[in-house]
Amino acid sequence: MHTLAKGILVTLEILAISMPISVLLGIALGTARVYGNVIIRGIASAIVIAFRGFPVLVTLLLIFFGLSDFGIYVPPFWTAVIGFILCSGSYQSEYVRGAIRSIDIGQSLAARSIGMTKFQEVLYIILPQAVRRAFLGITNELIYLVQYSSLAFVVGVPEMFAVTKTFNSLYFRPVETFTTLAVVYLVMISVLVVFFRGIERRLAIPGIEITTK
């Protein structure tokens, strides 16, 4: 149990770092693909296409082994964090981009008519609405992130799936071992769902639903 607790702590550390940064990356990429110049749009699109196209497992292996060929060593923990941020953020960016596109152009025209700069328009008018509209998709991606965080074991991170797998190889009690692991994942995701619903209520505009039941 002590070993599992240490594995859970490592998993929580990975998620605590990768979740908020992936959200920021998703918002930045989604915004860049709509409002950036040709070069910025091209770079943002290339990042999104690449990391939506690569399986998460392949992304982790490329970061860990690929960069080492150029003399850059990324520790296993940070390999997992970087890989999860890039993959999750790329998916989240599509929700943000779609949400931005869905906002009526009249709001942009109104912002310009009162003297707002493009930056002010995006920051104060467009993004707050886009984040509300994209919130459900973003939170779904964060839940997926919890699920595929178990892939960190392939680069040697002693997270909870890795330590559970090691425990089972020593004592061969697969039913009890992996049932316990499944319950831990279920509890973590349930806590996240409750947390996200609290944020939904704060973001909600009276009379407008931002999520489905």
Average pLDDT over all residues of the chain: 91
Minimal CA–CA distance to 49: which of 90, 6, 92?
90
Cα first-last separation, the chain: 36
d(CA 187, CA 24): 25
Tell me the percentage of the chain whose pLDDT exceeds 70: 95
Burial group, residue 96, by CB count within 10 angstroms (0-12, 13-18, 19+): buried
Residue 208 — pLDDT band, cuts 50, 70, 90? low
Phi/psi of residue 50, nearest 5 degrees: -65, -50
Q: Is residue 126 part of a domain?
A: yes
pLDDT of residue 213 exceeding 60 = no
Q: What is the pLDDT of residues 20-64, one digit of tens each?
A: 999 999 999 999 999 999 999 999 999 999 999 999 999 999 999
d(CA 15, CA 86): 13
Q: Is residue 152 part of a domain?
A: yes
d(CA 49, CA 147): 22
d(CA 154, CA 71): 21
CATH number at residue 25: 1.10.3720.10
Q: Is residue 48 part of a domain?
A: yes
Contact 210, 135 (CB under 8 A): yes
Helix/strand/coil for 116: coil
d(CA 74, CA 60): 11
* Separation of CA 85 from chain center: 6
Q: Is residue 193 part of a domain?
A: yes
Helix/strand/coil for 206: coil
Q: Is residue 159 part of a domain?
A: yes
Q: Is residue 27 part of a domain?
A: yes
Range of the domain at 32: 2-203
Contact 7, 163 (CB under 8 A): yes
Q: Is residue 210 part of a domain?
A: no
Q: How many domains does the chain have?
A: 1
Q: Could you give the count of Cα atoms lying within 13 Å of 32 in the half-sphere of its Cβ? A: 20
